[in-house]
Structure 1
Amino acid sequence: MLYFSKLKITLIALFTLFMVMVSSSNFLDLDLDKQKKIKLGLDLQGGSYLLLELDNEPVIKQKLQSKLLEIKDYFKKNKIKILSLKLDDKLIKLKVSKDDVEKVEEIFNDKESTINPYYFQYKAHQLDVKINSDVFNLELSKYGIILIKNASLDQAIEIVRKRVDEVGTNEPNILKRGNDRILLELPGLDNPDRIKSLLGKTADLAFRLESKTSNESFGTEKLKLIETGEELLLSKRVIISGDNLVDASPRMDSLNNQTVVSFTLDRVGSKRFAQATKRNIGTRLAIVLDGQIISAPVIRDVIAGGSGQISGGFTFQSATDLALLLRSGALPAPLNIIEERTVGPDLGQDSINAGILSLIIGFLLVIGFMTLKYRIFGIIANFTLIINLILLISILTLLEATLTLPGIAGIILTVGMAVDANVLIFERIKEETSKEKNNLIAFDNGYSKSKITILDANITTIIAAIILFIFGSGPVKGFSITLCVGILTTLFSVFFIARLLTSIYVKINKHKEIIIK
């Protein structure tokens, strides 16, 4: 029936009033710390768009290297002689004596670890095994590669977020794309050069000692000192890495009057650093960042305080950026920028103006049509439509959604669909009033019998919007969100607010003839 209890009327009124207050935060500057607002996308406020791709080749090789060591330790523990074990590109090649082939084959094929003491659980290690005579070729399975890529991408997103946040970028949008790409949207930033510079560095920090001989057990390599171009022969042994850093910050060294980066180590790093400096007084300690030596001071005394400084002819800006990189941690793999777009604020403002103008024109045409066609009920539908838009804006505000130009298109489509629901109801009521003399029954039948049709049409649209959200990206997601939320607010406004206002009017005029043209 058209009857609404006082409790239901009160709840509808309170809910609507609350939503009006929420939506008003987008238009009133209340100067609150936690004031929620709808964010504007790049196409509306301008900014930079970067699509980054993670180069997982080093991560995969590092993973295979660790698998190789695991296999070596496992076979040694179980007293199986290895003739050769090496990493060839993305393949681990294991060669054993012909006498041990059957035993090793059993290791990789047996599924019952409780029966076979040699069971290596290679499937748990994400390895595929191919046997060729006495040579076993092991490579990462497709599932193992996917796991590695997902893990490194999650880690990279977290580090990118730290770096971007520390630069002070306003409300960046960082999204995962597939299993090796990151979408970075920087609203309001029209010159992303500094961000690109920071993201282009892996920030893999290592403290390594200069080696006097190339026959060192850990291996050696020659690297260049950035400041002078001097080549130093370094041990591959890492004394401490960036993982041991607790904090890093730029400061002025008053003794040398130059900018340096001071750092603090964790407990493990402090202990290792103290031991290394104690044993190697007089030796140069190279500070290596992404394969280049940024500083190589000579150890003059034991450094036991767990802190130190990095010098290298820094400007204050470069020292600040280096400290930022060290604080945020090293990327698991290099990031490459494969797509870049910049939208100017003027173009964004033009998009806003065009979108608002389209919405106003469409809104006024709908209001004019509904008023001329249905008179008082058209006015009720128009008022409901205004409430519908307020509800839509308030929900987007609570979600802190990012509004894009396709999102505005979704709002405009919502206006049309909201009117469509009212038209269906009013046309159904016209049929009922021609058969039923009791206005209350006729109007109630009109709402009840049109409900299924309206629900069917809107639910199928919601399903389409959900599919767009799941499989779409960027602007498509923005359109699907506003469309989906708009449909839900339309159903609420039509079957609660419009129906409530209609019931009030019909009850007041229940003894008069009510005609819907």
Structure 2
Amino acid sequence: MQTPLWKRLLIWAVVAAGLLYAMPNAFYSRVEKHNDATAAIEKAAGAATPAQEADVALWPNWLPSGLVNLGLDLRGGAHLLAEVQVADVYADRIDILWPEARDSLRQARDAVGNVRRLDAPPGELKIKISNPDGMAKAVEIVRGLAQPVTTLTGVGQSSLEVSAEGDTITIQLSAAEKAATDERTMAQSLEIVRRRIDEAGTREPTIQRQGADRILIQVPGIGTAAELKSLIGTTARLTFNPVVGRASNANADPGSPRNVVLPERGRPGSFLIIERTPVVGGEDLVDAQPAFDQNGGPAVNFRFNPAGARAFGDYTANNIGSPFAIVLDNEVVSAPTIQSHIAGGSGIITGNFTVEESTELAVLLRSGALPAKLNFLEERTIGPELGQDSIDAGRVAAIIGMVAVSALMIACYGLFGVFATVALAINMALIFAVLSIIGGTLTLPGIAGIVLTIGMAVDANVLVYERIREELRVQKGPARAIEIGYERAMSAIIDANLTTMITALVLFFMGAGPVRGFAITLAIGIVTSVFTALLVTRQLIEIWYGWRRPKTIVV
């Protein structure tokens, strides 16, 4: 019954590392303040306030400072269920297609005559040609604008459906392209919501797709659901549009179906008529930062990608002396007159901003424009007090479970039950250490998984101890009985825990939210339980046996 020295050192090194990495969770508030202050100082390029320096001093820098992140139900925070209006993207795609279709048809004016856009339902483009005899040519030209669908299910299909009736061409997205657009819209919406929440510095948000067009958003530590909505609820759609003229009120005649009347920011009663089709869109932005204009007022600097810079530069070069509108979420925030060719793809947005508004606008623009509007179907705020109640209840449950299991083990197995109890405490520390290292999030179901692990952790010890009893009954010596007990119980222990691990993995990959939190702690608990039951308790028994050298043992 002698474990090699290298193996003993490795086992106790793992135990020591687990206790070390679990230790910060025993001083949660102090370590959390230390981590927040350290992150803020790094973000400020090393500049620190006296309060931040005091917070940094709360925990030694040479000790691990990783913490188990607390989920929404333990920390409090905001819960939103949003529906993405994917159908709105169809209309945008068709609107963007009109200038290209118009220019292509004008190049074949001898065959199709003049072209004009007609009013049509959202998501459809109707084009009237003055020469119906050239309809076949016109349809051929428009179909040439289509692209192949880039999804596996849409291979070989066109992105556009083109039909003709009389002198009118009707264009809309094909069913395959709509499905592909829906997938792209949902993926883009998820990523942009994640960026915006990450920009705000929140901890471990849960952002998941639910069903075909819904997004579940849970952010621990944020004040209210309204605060979360203000951060992600706006589309922040920035466009640069040509200005047609001014209007006296919001209901004024724009002069064309392709124009729209929008209000000016900070100027009540002032309205501009602008073209619907933008020169450049916010999707071409690569950076936006809060700044100040030449008068010292808050503003936002922006920079385009090469494609956006080229389009913006060409437009300004060809329209010197004309005004253009910077439109954010259907509101004109600025309408400067083009004084010269603006090359380089950068500029500044000015308006009646406060410093906070310019900073928030920069965050929204930098994280990207949501491709479609979000409708919030469900919103809920969980207070920190309720979260603390959940933590307290979970702590009480864990303590009661550990005390009850420990008392039963000691009553049944005496000193060997004490060894199992010590291993159980180490097991709990290892679970928290692993969660801290991987940055896992602990939820209320996760606490349930830990409590369940407490009961499961001693199962392996029971199997081992019962095998040792059987060997003692057939007159085996103490050392040989202990060695055989561990060897013959190992296969049963591994088989039992392997089946539970498979269940935990299925729950993790197939479940969502609370179910995954339960699965994570259960899976970690299985691994640490096997380690402590088969290796740590054996080391404790070996140390005791080498010290006392008993002739007989009672298990």
Q: Secondary structure at the match of 1:210?
A: strand
User: One-letter code of the match for 1:49?
Assistant: H
Match of 1:152 in 2: 185
C-alpha contact 1:440 1:510 (8 A) present in aligned 2: no
In structure 2, what residue type is equivalent to 1:19?
A: G
Specify the alignment match of 2:281 in structure 1.
241
Q: Which residue of 2 aligns with 1:473?
A: 512
* AA of the residue aligned to 2:405: V
TM-score under structure 1 normalisation?
A: 0.81
Asked whether the 8 Å contact 1:261–1:310 carries over to 2, the reply is yes
For residues 450-502 of structure 1, give each alpha carbon's deviation from its aligned partner in whole angstroms, at most 9, with x where no partner exists. 33332333222222222221222222211111111101111111111112333
Q: Does 1:187 align with 2:220?
A: yes
Q: Does 1:446 align with 2:446?
A: no
The code of the aligned residue for 1:166 comes to E
Corresponding residue number in structure 1 for 2:422 = 383
Q: Please name the residue that 2:67 is paired with.
A: 37
Query: What is the CA distance between 1:22 and its match in structure 2?
Result: 1.5
Report the more deviating stretch, 437-446 or 483-492: 437-446
Instruction: After TM superposition, give the deviation of residue 76 of structure 1 in Å.
Output: 12
| 1:47 aligned residue (70, 74, 77) | 77
CA contact (8 A) 2:78 2:224 kept: yes
Q: Where does residue 6 of structure 1 map in the other structure?
A: 5
Secondary structure in 2 aligned to 1:426? Answer: helix
Q: What aligned pairs does 1:1-400 form with structure 2 within 5 A after superposition?
A: 2-28=1-27, 29=31, 30-32=59-61, 35-63=65-93, 123-124=154-155, 126=157, 140-141=174-175, 145-211=178-244, 219-226=258-265, 227-253=267-293, 255=295, 258-266=297-305, 269-304=308-343, 306-400=345-439
Letter in 2 for 1:41: G
Which has the larger displacement, 262-271 or 428-437?
262-271
Within the candidate set 443, 446, 463, 1:407 is matched to 446
Q: Which has the higher contact order (CA 8 A, sep 6+)?
A: 1
How far did residue 246 of structure 1 move?
4.4
Matched, 1:460 2:499: yes
- CA 1:267–1:191 in structure 2 vs 1: closer, same or farther (change >3 Å)? same
For residue 82 of structure 1, report the CA deviation from its aligned partner: 9.8
- RMSD of aligned C-alpha atoms? 4.3
Q: Does 87-96 or 20-29 show the bigger shift? A: 87-96
Whole-Å Cα distance in 2 between the matches of residues 127 and 452 of structure 1? 58
Alignment equivalent of 2:525, drawn from 477, 482, 486: 486
- Find the counterpart in structure 2 of residue 114 from structure 1: none
User: Residue 48 of structure 2 corresponds to which residue in structure 1?
Assistant: none
What SS class does the counterpart of residue 273 from structure 2 fall into?
strand
Say which SS state the counterpart of residue 352 (structure 2) adopts. Answer: strand
Deviates more, 1:363-372 or 1:149-158: 149-158
Residues 151-190 of structure 1, C-alpha deviation per residue, up to 9 Å, x if partnerless?
3233223322332233343454434444533333322222
Amino acid at match of 2:74: L
Displacement after TM superposition at 1:429 (Å): 2.2
User: Whole-Å Cα distance in 2 between the matches of residues 273 and 214 of structure 1?
Assistant: 24
Residues 472 and 267 from structure 1, CA distance in 2 versus in 1: closer, same or farther, beyond 3 angstroms? closer
CA deviation vs aligned residue, 1:333-391 (integer Å, no higher than 9, x gap): 22222222212122212221121121112211222221122111111111111111121
Amino acid at match of 2:76: G
Question: Aligned pair in 2 of structure 1 residues 332, 469: CA closer, same or farther (>3 Å)?
Answer: same
| Amino acid across the alignment from 2:230 | S
Distance 1:146 1:468, change over 3 A: farther
Equivalenced residues, count: 498
User: TM-score, normalized by length of structure 2?
Assistant: 0.76
SS in 2 for 1:473: coil
Where 2:83 maps in the other structure, the secondary structure is strand
Q: 1:495 aligns with which of 534, 539, 542?
A: 534
Distance 1:432 1:54 in 2: 66
2:431 is the counterpart of 1:431: no
Is contact 2:90–2:173 with CA below 8 Å preserved after alignment? no
CA separation of 1:35/1:183 partners in 2, compared to 1, >3 Å: closer, same or farther? farther
Deviation at 1:507, TM superposition (A): 5.8
Give the direction of change, closer, same or farther, for the CA distance of 1:324–1:62 in structure 2 (3 Å limit).
same
Q: What's the CA shift for 1:414?
A: 0.5
The alpha-carbon distance between structure 1 residues 406 and 327, as it changes in their structure 2 partners (threshold 3 A), is same
Secondary structure of 1:513's partner?
coil
The question of whether the paired residues in 1 share the 8 Å contact of 2:69 and 2:203 is answered with no
Shift of 1:317: 2.2
* Distance in 1 between residues matched to 2:349 and 2:234, nearest whole Å: 18
Give the secondary structure class of the aligned counterpart of 1:483: helix
CA contact (8 A) 2:225 2:379 kept: no
Q: Distance in 2 between matches of 1:270 and 1:247?
A: 12
Opposite residue 189 of structure 1, the aligned amino acid is I
Q: Which amino acid aligns with 2:494?
A: L
Q: Cα 1:120–1:206, aligned 2, differ >3 Å: closer, same or farther?
A: closer
Q: 1:292 Cα shift?
A: 2.6
Amino acid at match of 1:20: L
For 2:104 and 2:475, the matched residues in 1 are separated by: 87
